[in-house]
Amino acid sequence: MAAAVAMETDDAGNRLRFQLELEFVQCLANPNYLNFLAQRGYFKDKAFVNYLKYLLYWKEPEYAKYLKYPQCLHMLELLQYEHFRKELVNAQCAKFIDEQQILHWQHYSRKRMRLQQALAEQQQQNHAAGK
């Protein structure tokens, strides 16, 4: 514990820990990684579960602004539930989550395409009407 205390007050140590935890929490957005962790029994380790709970500090705005993949926060919240952790052992579960994530990811591009199509149709109509 003395070493841990020394670590707390060490500047470079803090920065490193910050980076590490930042990277790790964002890795949680990857459902394949979660499946990997589940299959190796990490979710059964109480210390690990406590660590996940500790990582919830990334939800605060002053920390969240450093996240590049904000989906990780949602996964983190889900990981707090035992049932979810158990489910993640199945590869199908991970695959399903992956597919849904990718589909959601494409939401805005789809919307934009639809808008463009609608606009194009409208222009065509205007042209036809004009002529």
Partner 1 sequence: MAAASGAEKEKERPGVGGGGWGSGAGAAGGNSTRERLLSALEDLEVLSRELIEMLAISRNQKLLPPDEENQVLELLIHRDGEFQELMKLALNQGKIHHEMHVLEKEVEKRDSDIQQLQKQLKEAEQILATAVYQAKEKLKSIEKARKGAISSEEIIKYAHRISASNAVCAPLTWVPGDPRRPYPTDLEMRSGLLGQMNNPSTNGVNGHLPGDALAAGRLPDVLASQYPWQSNDMSMNMLPPNHSNDFLLEPPGHNKENEDDVEVMSTDSSSSSSDSD
Q: Which is nearer to partner 1, 32 or 126 (CB)?
A: 32
Alpha-carbon gap, residue 39 to 86, rounded angstroms: 10
State the nearest-atom distance from the C-beta of 9 to partner 1, in Å.
8
Q: What are phi and psi of 20, to 5 degrees?
A: -60, -45
Tokens representing 2?
């003395």
Nearest to 39 by CA among 102, 94, 100: 94
Give me the residues that bind partner 1 (CB under 8 A), please. Answer: 1, 3-4, 6-20, 22-24, 26-27, 29-33, 36, 42, 45-48, 50-51, 53-54, 57, 61-63, 65-72, 101-102, 104-109, 112
State the nearest-atom distance from the C-beta of 129 to partner 1, in Å.
30
